[in-house]
Amino acid sequence: MQAILIKSSGEAEQMYFGEIDRPSPGPNEVLVRIAYTALNRADILQRMGQYPVPPGDSPVMGLEMSGEIVMAGSEVRKWHPGDQVFGLLNGGGYAEYAIIHEDMAMPIPAGLGLKEAAAIPEVFLTAYQALHWIGKMKAGDQVLIHAGASGVGTAALQLAQLAGATSLVTASAGKHDICRSLGAARTIDYRNEDFAEAVLEFTGSRGVDIILDFIAANYFQQNLRSLAVDGRIIMLALMGGIKVPDVNLAPILMKRLQITGSTLRNRSLEYKIRLTQDLFTYTREHFASGQLRPIIDTVFPWREVADAHRYMEANRNQGKILLML
């Protein structure tokens, strides 16, 4: 089968189309002919040699997909060839076929197609895990979402609104409209505003209960200022650096703050199955009704994968970037 491979670590031009063996499903797995896959920051980092593939995972990029089952493992009973599914992958999405555990595959929600479904897994699982499993978000909470127009940001905004929480976001000015359309009560232009000051003004000096953070070092001190007593930071990426010089740790103690780092790809299969099933149960009807919707910025033919990577690297997207096979 054809797959998008990497010649050597580097720029987008290092990707090429090559032939690899088609994977064979194990007893509890299904083989899917991929219709759409989606870009994630991890793909960029993997291409650049900055994201080691976990042992046992496919070395091919691509962490999610939608498509049609063409073969089921010997012990699979819930799926059959011809069924359309979507789900999170342990790599392998940048290829014509991929395998997925039967309990990680999800049926396409009513009212959605393969294109829309491919934009759901990574961002909604990440946001749901961060806000509900880790952040313990509840109605009435105030939540600051950095990178509010990103794929995870657009999912988090919708999940917060669904839960009855109030959302504030940081995003460049050109992306504020989409954030407001998804429920943001306050949009903050991080290039021209001190987001901590904006948060404290909006909350009457109280601060927010939860911060969803992808920036890390560059925002660390301001994040501490922005949190309310017993506030929680869920750190999902390190885009702004890993070292914080001269940090004042006093707010962590005085406000009883919690700082939790979280990843998804290197979690156990059992964990990811539980998360997938929990998310699907929680969101299925809301996707069908349109109360939740995957936000798709652009669909590139997979032959234009280099352009798609450059588009993401330029931070031009508002929502997900898909590759159509």
Average pLDDT over residues 232-247: 94
pLDDT at 172: 96
Q: What is the DSSP letter of 11?
A: S
Average pLDDT over residues 262-284: 96
pLDDT at 4: 99
Average pLDDT over residues 288-301: 97
Domains of the chain (ranges, CATH numbers): 2-120+267-324 (3.90.180.10), 123-261 (3.40.50.720)
* pLDDT band at 28; cut points 50, 70, 90: very high
Average pLDDT over residues 196-210: 99
How many CB atoms lie under 10 A from the CB of residue 164?
11
pLDDT at 124: 98
* pLDDT band at 198; cut points 50, 70, 90: very high
What are the phi and psi torsion angles at 10 (to 5°)?
Answer: 160, -145
Provide the residue type at 13 as one letter. E
pLDDT at 322: 99
Q: How far apart are CA 137 and CA 134, in angstroms?
A: 8
* Residue carrying structure tokens 């049926």: 107
Nearest to 144 by CA among 163, 106, 171: 171
pLDDT at 114: 99
Among the ranges given (11-15, 51-55, 268-272, 281-285), the one the predictor scored with the smallest mean pLDDT: 51-55
pLDDT at 57: 94
Q: How far apart are CA 167 and CA 39, in angstroms?
A: 25
What whole-number percentage of the chain has pLDDT above 70? 100
Q: Please report the sign of the dihedral spanned by the C-alpha atoms of residue 139, residue 291, residue 275, residue 299.
A: negative
pLDDT one-digit tens code per residue, 50-80: 999 999 999 999 999 999 999 999 999 999 9
pLDDT at 150: 95
Read off the pTM: 0.96
Q: How far apart are CA 280 and CA 278, in angstroms?
A: 6
Measure Cα distances from 295 to 37, 119, 185, 313 in Å. 14, 7, 19, 18
Task: Report the chain's C-alpha Rg in angstroms.
Answer: 20
pLDDT one-digit tens code per residue, 99-127: 999 999 999 999 999 999 999 999 999 99
Average pLDDT over residues 206-219: 97
pLDDT at 125: 98
Beta-carbon contacts of 60 under 8 Å, excluding residues fewer than 6 positions away, are 3, 4, 5, 20, 91, 92, 93, 94, 95
pLDDT at 171: 97
pLDDT at 64: 99
How does DSSP assign 62-93, residue by residue? -SEEEEEEEEE-TT--S--TT-EEEEE-SS--
pLDDT at 87: 99
How does DSSP assign 268-319, residue by residue? -HHHHHHHHHHHHHHHHHHHHHTSS---EEEEEEGGGHHHHHHHHHTT--SS
* pLDDT band at 211; cut points 50, 70, 90: very high
